[in-house]
Amino acid sequence: MVFNHPSSRGGKDEGGCPSVFVVDTHATRPPVPPRLMREGRWTGAPVTLLTMLVSLALCGMVIEACFIYSLYQTELVQSASTSKLTGGDEVATIENHLEESLPSKPMAHLTDGVDVVHEKQIMGWSMNADPILYEMVYRNGSLIIQKEGYYFIYSKVYFSFSGIFHHLINMKTEKYTGKFITLLQSRETSPESSKMRSNSYLGGVFHLSENDAIYVSVSSTQKILRHKSFENVFGAYMI
């Protein structure tokens, strides 16, 4: 229903128009202005509950961060303590690893080098060119056997010559004092009028005793070409 409510000024409001009210005859309570409803929607209990939930979430994050930091510090302390206690074990592990990487049997591999001074016929070998020496001794051009057994012995030389060139692997042993035994030998020939370059390789298996000495000899070490250290090699290994 619609009613006109006259004001004290002749039934009109300040704008000169009559005041009009709409009355809902089915309403059971007075109408609430829309603005008051909108303002009251986010006040009271809901806002308090939301604030509590946000605060609780923030507290949980702070507690979790503190717990992670404490756990991390504990692990650092335990790791440091373990490192101190197992320091000797780690060293032993490294030593065991190095031992495992070593050859299982005696061996040697020698090459030529700029530091080498050959004798007239006996070749010398470099101790500066990363030689391999395991359970064998190098002395004065010879490899000294430390453990009795069968060995593969080899040598390769690069040389320039005319006429005849000899390449040998010899052995000295305590069984024959003052004498040497030729184990392997190669011979190259060419016309005297021409000069040639060639390679000679020797290799074979022999039984060697403790303190036997093996060495390489040639017709003349002056004929050995020394462009690269690996062109002249000498070695042996137990089989």
Whole-number pLDDT of residue 52: 76
Burial of 145 (0-12, 13-18, 19+ CB in 10 A): buried
For residue 85, pLDDT over 60 is answered with no
Let me know the angle formed at the C-alpha of 94 by 90 and 99, rounded to the nearest 5 degrees. Answer: 145
The 10 Å Cβ neighbour count of residue 238 is 19
Encode pLDDT of 118-160 as tens digits.
999 999 999 998 899 999 999 999 999 999 999 999 999 999 9
Whole-number pLDDT of residue 3: 46
For residue 11, pLDDT over 60 is answered with no
The count of residues in the chain is: 239
Domain boundary assignment for the chain: 50-102, 107-238
Report pTM. Answer: 0.59
Contact 122, 150 (CB under 8 A): no
61 falls in which pLDDT band (50, 70, 90)? confident
Whole-number pLDDT of residue 87: 53
Q: Which two tokens stand for residue 229?
A: 């250290």
Contacts of 195 (CB under 8 A, 6+ apart): 160, 161, 162
CA atoms within 13 A on the CB side of 63: 6
For residue 79, pLDDT over 50 is answered with yes
16 falls in which pLDDT band (50, 70, 90)? low
Which CATH number describes the domain made up of 107-238?
2.60.120.40
User: Which residues make beta-bridge pairs with 27?
Assistant: none
For residue 104, pLDDT over 70 is answered with yes
Contact 224, 154 (CB under 8 A): no
65 falls in which pLDDT band (50, 70, 90)? confident
DSSP annotation of 229: G
Whole-number pLDDT of residue 2: 46
Q: Decide which of 131 and 99 is more confident.
A: 131
Q: Which helix (H) or strand (E) holds 161?
A: strand 149-161
213 falls in which pLDDT band (50, 70, 90)? very high
Whole-number pLDDT of residue 157: 98
Whole-number pLDDT of residue 193: 79
Encode pLDDT of 164-211 as tens digits.
999 999 999 998 887 899 999 999 998 887 889 999 999 999 999 999
